[in-house]
Structures are given as structure tokens and as C-alpha cells.
Amino acid sequence: MKQFLSVKDAGDVPSLVQEALDLKENIGQYSDLGKGKTLGLLFLNPSLRTRMSTQRAAYNLGMNVIVLNLDKDSWQIEFEDGAVMNSTKSEHIKEAAGVISQYCDIIGLRSFPGLVDREKDYTEQILHSFKKYCSKPLISLESGTRHPLQSFADVITIAETSTQAKPKVVLTWAPHIKALPQAVPNSFAEWAVATGAEVVITQPRGYELAPEFCQGAEITYDQDAALAGADYVYVKNWSAYREYGAMPQVEGDWLLTSDKMNATNHAKVMHCLPVRRNVELIDALIDGPDSLVQVQAGHRVTAAQTVLKKILETA
Ligand code: CP
């Protein structure tokens, strides 16, 4: 594996998931693979799980880790070619990426979308600038449009817990108090489809995801119909793609309830975390016996370690 920016870098997803489950059985098996190698984790936005799980995964492989909060602890970076840098941005990506590439053997980057300019976010200017100017393998720690390490952990979780070859997996929109990126649902949709699951996405009108991420999924505005017979319900809020970054008014009550869950096939409940309790998902479902949220978070280490191992083996 030369990079990990999307499901396209995963190869055959069921095989990669199996490799991850095998690795989980013997997490210390490759503890010397990364000896003498350094992972750089660059954050332009906050993180708990991604930061800690990727560090833990690197340590499991014997790597050193450098974490840099690029948004707070470094110089502000200019990404435009030909910019006249006479304002707040002190360092150009060309220099920064070249320098970081000398200190690190693998580089992870988190860069959220601005949710103002759709074209800018969906062309992934920041991620692609790093890719262009870094000379080392790049891992997305969540970008403007995707969160592949999260989605990989999610499909590992489904594979580990599923009793069916083709489970029904429902991704449902949930309420929130502020506009959130589409990266997690975009990414989850394409990874879940790649596992061969039956994937249904349900959202209120106005919250349709970008069509390129939903290929192979059924899409419905009827949450009750979507939930019928579901084996997994992935709960997530996202802001509008079409009216980009907006939170159009919603008809009906989209908060998942225990009553609504009665229509499912004793479905497991998933969320990437962090979750706003009783806004996005109710206490009873987060804390209930069918909740997989902690299992998903645990598999963030499995996912990151599998990806780092494959990149180290390729380098
Ligand atoms: N799910 C996830 O990526 O969590 P963090 O934002 O805390 O890393």
C-alpha cells in the first residue's frame, strides 16, 4: 500500500478486513516492523480517537511518532501557488511538506472542510497539496470529503459481529445543533458498499449526499422503511451537500428511538463518536446492549495498525 486516502487505496475490502481481524488476534506480531521509522501526525483540527488510536497503532509496530497541531503550534500554511505572502500565512506548503518529509517516513494529515466553498472542499486542496509536495506515503486522518480510517474500523466492526454474509446496513441522518461535514457518511457509504452489504441511506429532503459516494446504496427519505429489517443502524448527522454546508429545515422527527428500533432485526447501533447525547443519539441506545460505539473506537487501532503495516511492508 503506497497511501491511504480513500477506499480506492484499500484494494479488495473484504480481504483487507480479514487481514485486520487476523492482525487483531496477534496485535504484537509485528512489533519490530517499524523500528527506526517515524510517523508524523499533522492535525489542522481537533481529535481524540484518531490521534490516540493511530499513535497506539504505530507504537504496536515499533514506530516513533511525532504529533504536530499544525493549526496551533506551527506557522500558518499558505496553499495557493503563486501567492504573495504578505498577510498572516508565514510558510508555504512547498517548504513545509519538504521539511516534514525529511523528518518522517509516513505522514498522517487531518484537515476538515470549511463547509463554505464546496468546490474547494471537494477538490481536497489541502490533502492534495500535501500529497503533491510530500515525498513520503500519506494517510488521511479525515479530509474534506472522507474519513477512511474511521470507515475501515466500522466495516471491521460489522464483519466481526455479523452473523450474515450480506447484512442490511442502514446509514441514517440524525439531528445536530451545528453543521457537520459529510466526510464520515460519504466514506462509510462507499466502504459499506465495498464489503458487499445491503446498504440503505436515509435522510431528510435537502440532506442528500454527493451521488458519487452513494453508488450501490439504496436511498430513501422514509426512515421507518429504511429501518425495517436492518441489522446495523449507523447514526450520523451531516450538513447539506447541495445547499452546501446549510442545515435545511427538517420535516418529521429523525432522532432514533427505542420504538423505531423495534422495526429492525435487533440491529446493532453504530456511531463514529464524538456524539452529542440526546441530541444526535439517545442515552438508551448509546448505553444499551446493542451499542457498538466502543467496539468501533477500539477498532480504530486495528484499522490504523493494518494500514501502517501494509505501508511499511511496501516501502
Ligand atoms: N471518530 C473520530 O475520528 O474521532 P476524533 O475526531 O476524536 O478523532
Q: Are residues 141 and 156 in the same domain?
A: no
| DSSP at 208 | P
The CA 53 to ligand 1 mean position distance, Å, reads 9
Q: Are residues 99 and 174 in the same domain?
A: no
Are the beta carbons of 13 and 107 closer than 8 angstroms?
Answer: no
Give the model's pLDDT for residue 313.
98
Query: pLDDT digit string (tens) for 236-290?
Result: 999 999 999 999 999 999 999 999 999 999 999 999 999 999 999 999 999 999 9
Element (H, E) at 140: strand 138-140
Strand order of the β-sheet with 232-236 is: 218-220, 198-202, 168-173, 232-236, 268-270
Cβ–ligand 1 contact at 187 (below 6 Å): no
Ligand 1 atom at shortest distance from the alpha carbon of 53:
8
**Does 61 fall in a domain?**
yes
Give the model's pLDDT for residue 29.
94
Q: Are residues 119 and 246 in the same domain?
A: no
- Counting residues of the chain whose pLDDT is more than 90, the rounded percentage is 100
Q: Environment class of residue 246 by beta-carbon count within 10 Å: exposed (0-12), middle (13-18) or buried (19+)? A: middle
Query: How many Å apart are CA 256 and CA 206, to the nearest integer?
Result: 19
**Does 2 fall in a domain?**
no
Residue 12 pLDDT greater than 90, yes or no: yes
Q: Are residues 66 and 18 in the same domain?
A: yes
Cβ–ligand 1 contact at 296 (below 6 Å): no
Q: Are residues 286 and 157 in the same domain?
A: yes
Residue 97 pLDDT greater than 90, yes or no: yes
Q: Are residues 253 and 304 in the same domain?
A: no
Query: How many Å apart are CA 148 and CA 146, to the nearest integer?
Result: 6
Q: Are residues 173 and 268 in the same domain?
A: yes
Give the model's pLDDT for residue 287.
98
Q: Are residues 34 and 154 in the same domain?
A: no
Q: Environment class of residue 218 by beta-carbon count within 10 Å: exposed (0-12), middle (13-18) or buried (19+)? A: middle
Mean pLDDT score, 168-197? 98
Phi, psi (deg, nearest 5) at residue 235: -100, 130
Element (H, E) at 253: none
Query: pLDDT digit string (tens) for 193-218?
Result: 999 999 999 999 999 999 999 999 99
The CA 237 to ligand 1 mean position distance, Å, reads 14
Give the model's pLDDT for residue 89.
96
Range of the domain at 170: 149-296
Cβ–ligand 1 contact at 52 (below 6 Å): no
Are the beta carbons of 41 and 130 closer than 8 angstroms?
Answer: no
Total domains present in the chain: 2
**Does 1 fall in a domain?**
no
Q: Are residues 155 and 289 in the same domain?
A: yes
Mean pLDDT score, 2-14? 98
| DSSP at 146 | -
**Does 237 fall in a domain?**
yes
Q: Which three cell numbers stand for residue 259?
A: 420504538
Establish how many alpha carbons lie within 13 A of residue 136's alpha carbon, considering only the half-sphere containing its beta carbon.
23
Phi, psi (deg, nearest 5) at residue 169: -115, 120
Residue 315 pLDDT greater than 90, yes or no: no
Cβ–ligand 1 contact at 129 (below 6 Å): no
CATH number, residue 305: 3.40.50.1370
Q: Are residues 115 and 191 in the same domain?
A: no
Q: Are residues 173 and 261 in the same domain?
A: yes
Cβ–ligand 1 contact at 47 (below 6 Å): yes
Query: pLDDT digit string (tens) for 20-74?
Result: 999 999 999 999 999 999 999 999 999 999 999 999 999 999 999 999 999 999 9
Are the beta carbons of 150 and 156 closer than 8 angstroms?
Answer: no
Among 52, 43, 56, residue whose Cα is nearest residue 308: 56
| Region for 115 from its dihedrals, namely left if φ exceeds 0, alpha if ψ lies in -120 to 50, beta otherwise | left
Are the beta carbons of 44 and 96 closer than 8 angstroms?
Answer: no
Q: What 3-state class would DSSP assign to 155?
A: helix
Q: Which three cell numbers stand for residue 313?
A: 511492508
Query: How many Å apart are CA 200 and CA 220, to the nearest integer?
Result: 7
Q: Are residues 22 and 52 in the same domain?
A: yes
**Does 39 fall in a domain?**
yes
Give the model's pLDDT for residue 233.
99
Query: How many Å apart are CA 129 and CA 95, to the nearest integer?
Result: 11
